[in-house]
Amino acid sequence: MEKITAWLTNSGIKIFGILIGLLVLSQMSKWILKWMEKWIPEKDTVQALEVKKRAHTLGNILRHAILIILFFLAILMILGELGIQLGPLLATAGIGALAIGFGAQSLVRDVIGGFFIILENQYRIGDVIQVAGVSGMVESLSLRRTVLRDLDGRVHTIPNGEIKIVSNLSKEWSRAVLDVGVSYRENIDQVIEILSQIGEELYREEPFKSAILEPLQILGVEQFGESQIIIRMMIKTIPLKQWEVGRELRRRIKIRFDEKGIEIPFPHRVLLWGEPKEKSNGPSSAPSPLK
Q: What is the pLDDT of residue 143?
A: 83
Res 52 pLDDT > 90: no
Average pLDDT, the chain: 81
Res 201 pLDDT > 90: yes
pLDDT above 70 as % of the chain: 76
213-240 pLDDT, tens digit per residue, is: 999 999 999 999 888 999 999 999 999 9
CA distances to 110, 123, 160, 179 from 130, rounded to whole Å, are 18, 11, 13, 22
Res 250 pLDDT > 90: yes
Query: Where do the H-state alpha helices sit in the chain?
Result: 2-7, 13-38, 46-81, 86-103, 105-119, 188-204, 242-260
Q: What is the pLDDT of residue 121?
A: 85
Q: Identify the H or E element spanning 184.
A: none
Q: 111 vs 145, which has greater pLDDT? A: 145
Split at pLDDT 50, 70, 90, the class of 45 is low
Q: 73 vs 5, which has greater pLDDT? A: 73
pLDDT above 90 as % of the chain: 40
CA distances to 141, 277, 285, 288, 290 from 282, rounded to whole Å, are 89, 15, 9, 15, 22
Res 281 pLDDT > 80: no
Mean pLDDT of 252-261: 95
C-alpha–C-alpha distance, residues 16 and 21, integer Å? 9
Q: What is the pLDDT of residue 291?
A: 43
What does the domain layout of the chain look like in residue ranges?
2-103, 174-260
Mean pLDDT of 203-217: 92
Mean pLDDT of 76-97: 68
Report yes or no: 131 and 165 within 8 Å, Cβ to Cβ: yes
C-alpha–C-alpha distance, residues 17 and 13, integer Å? 6
Res 110 pLDDT > 80: yes
Res 155 pLDDT > 50: yes
C-alpha–C-alpha distance, residues 166 and 122, integer Å? 8
Q: Which range (30-34, 162-166, 275-279) has the least confidence?
A: 275-279
Q: What is the pLDDT of residue 43?
A: 55
For 2-103, CATH gives 1.10.287.1260
Rounded to two decimals, the pTM is: 0.64
Q: What is the pLDDT of residue 194?
A: 96
State which fold the 174-260 domain adopts: Alpha-Beta Plaits (3.30.70)
